[in-house]
Amino acid sequence: MKRKIAIFGSTGSIGTQALDIIAANPDRYEAYVLTANRQSTLLIEQARKFQPAQVVIADETKYEEVREALADLPIQVYTGQDALCDVAQNGEVDIVLTALVGFAGLRPTVAAIRAHKQIALANKETLVVAGELVTRLAMENRSAILPVDSEHSAIFQSLMGEDFGGERREERRESNVLDLQKSTKEENVSSLHNSPLIERIILTASGGPFRKFSLEELKSVTPEQALKHPNWDMGAKITIDSATMMNKGFEVIEAKWLFGVEADRIQVVVHPQSIIHSAVEFRDGAVKAQLGVPDMRVPIQLAFSYPERLQSNFPRLDWYNMSDLTFEKPDLQKFRCLALAFEAIQRGGTIPCVLNAANEVVNLAFREGRCQFLQMADIVERTMERTTFIAQPTLDDYFAIDSEARRIASELI
Ligand code: NDP
């Protein structure tokens, strides 16, 4: 039977690639829900092509345009942020791909989890902001979260087939975020949390376009330079986050929550070629990694097809002509955002939420020419110092702290 997929953020970089996968596998997948924020023309085009049951255009000013353009088709058209939560719970949907950007992903993701959906998680900000709450809800609702981020997919693939049940059956948790029960080992990741089997996670980073720049040179880099990522073609926000290495900091936090490994056992390694997508070192010293051409369609497709692997015509690694694979330590003086993310996860509570909110504000300000590249880390740090701290936040607390942090960061610019 075809699996029905809801794509949140269908007009973005991940969303359009997900639609390519659905188009290439029409017997397996159906685009059942599509959502966008403002790109009405592209959403209409996608809806006419894929004929989903429901579409949401989040920006209310675009609603009439989308509704009229699709009036001849049996497609329900909605608008607004509440509608995103409603369609996330549609009883027909099997998989929700969260490919919208930023804090806006939190509410629909929580709604989908509460409706027991399988989540293909691209929207890492959800786990950065509220990782503890979201992973707890996922366990309570037996909602599997499958990573789309290439690094986390690589870690996930490196963990496949390992027996995490062996010596911790007594103390294992009822379920885990990564519900690998469909995999070869029945006990598998149900006791992954803080597993002694994993010694370290090696999270690789390209280092972004400014890896070799001096601090002096970083002072004057422009948004145009920062938007040219050496290896990946991504949306604007994550491309800037990659240039500051805030993205890697977010990924450390994401890995902590997905795989139950504390941040001090997650080592960031700069690997400019982006061929090794990440690795896991086990307690016997063995290291398993996943490699490939940088192509997001591979992890997106696996998040849909797991535990199967589908045939694809995506580019293959050319082993005879591969350039050298090199590895470096990240420079935390130049890329302070990465250090701030480690600090945020160590302090816990609402601090990672503040980190994310302040980052969204400065990221946009930098793109709009209202703030310098190095100022971004300064403002995020000062916002982390000034915002109210809540040790054990509720969902409502996250919304309140997100607003407070955005206000403070905006004032600091
Ligand atoms: P894009 O900016 O390319 O696309 C974002 C999508 O989300 C668009 O469809 C956009 O709609 C929609 N959107 C934005 N804001 C809102 C909102 N407030 N409400 C509803 N919808 C909204 O982003 P990416 O595809 O690059 O990234 C998406 C997520 O995936 C991010 O969290 C990113 O960190 C993560 N990710 C991305 C990777 C990549 O290769 N691109 C790799 C790994 C993770 P519209 O087009 O109408 O504005």
Instruction: Write the CB contacts of 204 (distance below 8 Å, at least 6 apart in sequence).
Output: 151, 154, 268, 269, 270, 271, 274, 276, 277, 278, 279
Q: What is the distance between the alpha carbons of residues 180 and 356, in angstroms, rounded to a whole number?
A: 29
Q: Is the CB of 13 under 6 A from ligand 1?
A: yes
> Cis peptide before 272, with omega less than 30 degrees from 0?
no
**CATH number of 3-147, picked from 3.50.50.60, 3.20.20.370, 3.40.50.720, 1.10.40.30:** 3.40.50.720
Residue 323: what pLDDT?
77
Using the atom order of ligand 1, give the atom closest to the CA of residue 84.
20
Q: Hey, which of 8, 37, 106, 251 would you mutate to test ligand 1's pocket, going by the most ligand atoms within 8 Å of its Cβ? A: 37
What is the DSSP secondary structure assignment for residue 192, as one 8-state letter? Answer: -
For the Cβ of 238 lying below 6 angstroms from any atom of ligand 1, the answer is yes
Atom of ligand 1 at shortest range from CA of 247 = 34
How far, in Å, is the centroid of ligand 1 from the Cα of 234? Answer: 9
Residues of the chain with CATH 3.40.50.720: 3-147
Centre a 10 Å sphere on the Cβ of residue 315 and count the other Cβ atoms it contains.
Answer: 12
Tokens, residue 110: 């929580």
Q: Is the CB of 123 under 6 A from ligand 1?
A: yes
Cα 319 to averaged position of ligand 1 atoms, centre (Å): 33
pLDDT for the residue numbered 166: 56
Residue 169: the pLDDT is 41
Q: Which residue's CA is the closest to the ligand 1 atom numbered 26?
A: 235
Strand, helix or coil for residue 391: coil
Position 322 scores a pLDDT of 87
The rounded distance, in Å, linking the Cα atoms of 186 and 188 is 5
Q: How far is the CA of 58 from the centre of ligand 1 (A)?
A: 13
Q: Give the Å distance between the CA of 246 and the centre of ligand 1.
A: 16
Per-residue pLDDT tens listing for the chain (413 residues): 899 999 999 999 999 999 999 999 999 999 999 999 999 999 999 999 999 999 999 999 999 999 999 999 999 999 999 999 999 999 999 999 999 999 999 999 999 999 999 999 999 999 999 999 999 999 999 999 999 999 999 999 999 988 876 544 444 343 344 544 334 333 334 446 678 899 999 999 999 999 999 999 999 999 999 999 888 789 999 999 999 999 999 999 999 999 999 999 999 999 999 999 999 999 999 999 999 999 999 999 999 999 999 999 999 999 998 879 999 999 999 999 999 999 999 999 999 999 999 999 999 999 999 999 999 999 999 999 999 999 999 999 999 999 999 999 999 99
The pLDDT, as a whole number, for residue 401 is 98
Q: Does any ligand 1 atom lie closer than 6 A to the CB of residue 125?
A: yes
Tokens of 344: 């945020």
DSSP string, 101-127: -GGGGHHHHHHHHHTT-EEEE--THHH
If one residue of 7, 10, 14 were mutated to test the ligand 1 pocket, choosing by the most ligand atoms within 8 A of its CB, it would be 14
**Regarding beta strands 276-282 and 198-205, do their DSSP bridges make them parallel or antiparallel, or are they unpaired?**
antiparallel
Quickly list DSSP for 264-322: GGEEEEE-TT--EEEEEEETTS-EEEEE--S-THHHHHHHHHTTS-----PPPP-GGGP
Output the six-digit token pair for 210.
């400014």
pLDDT of residue 176: 45
d(CA 14, ligand 1 centre) in Å: 7
Q: Which of 408, 352, 381, 351 has its CA nearest to residue 127?
A: 352
